[in-house]
Amino acid sequence: MNLANLADSIDSLLPQTQCTRCGYAACRPYAQAIAHDEAAINRCPPGGREVIAALAALLGRIELPLDPGCGTEQPPTVAFIDSGACIGCARCLPACPVDAILGAKHFLHTVLARECNGCELCVAACPVDCIAMQPRPPGQSAPEAPANRARYEQHRARDARAARERERLLSERKRAAQLLPQQ
């Protein structure tokens, strides 16, 4: 198996929360680092023992305990926004890798519990600390890896479109400025 295919196989075993707790920017870069033998297989707290065992079986490596420097294995959580404290700054929106937060600037924001994968990335983004992680209610399961991956890819595609549009507007403004008569 070549390295790209190996990274695909590794990535397919990861939970796709994109939480960065492994020390990489997302699940895919961690998968690539493992494929290149640059990272241990025990750095994914959301995947926990199950993912470590699957990676060990795929790669023929020894099962290691979860690296405590990356975090601990916990029951699934969901983000909750305190509606009385939210100031509508919208900083949590770009932080969410799966677009599970609804809101617009100056309006109250809310979390779509069924889409939230518990990555916690919105918590640090909030300037007034009004986002808390809570245990998922009994019987309510967290989104599965394929859904997380699909939503993350949509999120990245939208970010890329927005970056292209900003670039286009900037170029137009520069061209317009060059056409203005010199004073």
Smaller CB separation from ligand SF4, 35 or 117: 117
* Under rule CB under 6 A, residue 102 binds ligand SF4: no
Residue of 33, 41, 52, 111 interacting with ligand SF4 (CB under 6 A)? 111
* Under rule CB under 6 A, residue 13 binds ligand SF4: no
* Under rule CB under 6 A, residue 81 binds ligand SF4: yes
Smaller CB separation from ligand SF4, 7 or 44: 44
Shortest reach from residue 176's CB to ligand SF4, in Å: 34
* Under rule CB under 6 A, residue 143 binds ligand SF4: no
Q: Can you tell me the distance from the alpha carbon of 132 to that of 163, in angstroms, rounded to the nearest whole number?
A: 30
* Under rule CB under 6 A, residue 113 binds ligand SF4: no
How many beta carbons lie within 10 A of that of residue 62, not counting itself? Answer: 9
Shortest reach from residue 61's CB to ligand SF4, in Å: 16
End-to-end CA distance of the chain: 65
Token duo for residue 32 = 């690539």
Q: With CB under 6 A, what is the number of residues at the site for ligand SF4?
A: 45
Shortest reach from residue 75's CB to ligand SF4, in Å: 14
For ligand SF4, the binding residues (CB under 6 A) are 14-15, 17-22, 24, 26-27, 30, 44-47, 79, 81, 86-92, 95-96, 98, 100-101, 103, 109, 111, 116-122, 125-126, 128, 130-131
